[in-house]
Structure 1
Amino acid sequence: MPATVNPAEVDFTAIRAQGAGGQNVNKVSNAVHLRFAIHASSLPEAIKERLLALSDQRITTEGVVVIKAQTSRSLEQNKAEALERLQALVDSVATQPKARKPTKPTFGSKQRRLEGKATRSQVKQQRGRVRGVD
């Protein structure tokens, strides 16, 4: 069962968007800052730990996810996009990664490695000063 983000735990702040857009951008606050406190959320503990362990620049040292959405001219569409991006972030850590099983190199791969080393050694031994026949 995937963990879903409760919209009541998300804090939205309307801000002015950056970039081109003329008068609309200058007078209307349609961009959105989404803030989501991981520690105070109702997500399962395992997902909280994996979220906090991520090296994502959107997660602050206090454990708050900050997402900025400003692609649309509509405040509601920007809110929806920010929520989708937050949900995608949570979904990316929802499944526990498989534990790696250490393996040993096969006999054939060892042989090929040693043959390559021997060939390279021969090439290097043949380098050097050319002596003339006296």
Structure 2
Amino acid sequence: MSLRIGPTVQIPDEEIAISYILASGPGGQNVNKLATAAQLRFDARHSPSLPPRVRARLQALAGGRLTKDGVIVLTAQRFRSQTRNREDARERLADLIREALIAPVRRIATRPSRGEKRRRLESKLHRGQIKQGRSRPSED
């Protein structure tokens, strides 16, 4: 069962490693006895399932969740069961990859129109006059 991200991207289960660790938070005494938190590891830098540009954007988006080796580590411990935490971690990875799939829109540099420049200068002049009016009258 692979992780389906969209119509073009699919991550096979072999690329995702999930281990279980002791969780903090909800669970009562189970927290002390059972390893319910899921820790997902995905090698983003060497994944053959991702196009190079998506891979680069994914690594940038991962931020502090990315190790020096290019592995994304996600820890899910919102729920009391291993199954739900595992699915939560997989969904969070899928969301991260979906976000990386969207290419940023290139900004087109534009110049301000003559009217915009005029209005900006007039507003600056107006603000200056307001501030000038706040000063004490001079004693000439």
Q: In which range does the TM-score fall when normalised by the shorter chain?
A: 0.7 to 0.9
Conserved 8 A contact 2:22-2:32: yes
1:6 pairs with 2:12: yes
Unmatched tracts of structure 1, length 5 or more: none
Give me the whole-angstrom Cα distance separating, in 2, the residues matched to 1:6 and 1:116. 59
Number of residue pairs aligned between Structure 1 and Structure 2: 132
Unmatched tracts of structure 2, length 5 or more: 1-6
1:73 pairs with 2:80: yes
Percent identical residues: 39
* Larger Rg over CA atoms: 1
Structure with the bigger RCO (C-alpha within 8 Å, sep 6+) is 1
Q: 2:27 matched to which residue of 1?
A: 21
The amino acid that maps onto 2:137 is R
Superposition map of 1:1-134 within 5 A: 1-42=7-48, 43-54=50-61, 56-126=63-133, 127-131=135-139
Name which of structure 1's ranges 64-73 and 81-90 shifts more when overlaid on structure 2: 64-73
User: What CA deviation, in whole Å up to 9, does each residue of 1:61-117 have, x standing for no partner?
Assistant: 321111011122221221111111001000001021111100111222211111112
User: Aligned in 2, Cα 1:60/1:131: closer, same or farther, shift over 3 Å?
Assistant: same
**CA deviation after TM superposition for structure 1 residue 124, in Å:** 4.3
**3-state SS in 1 of match to 2:39:** strand
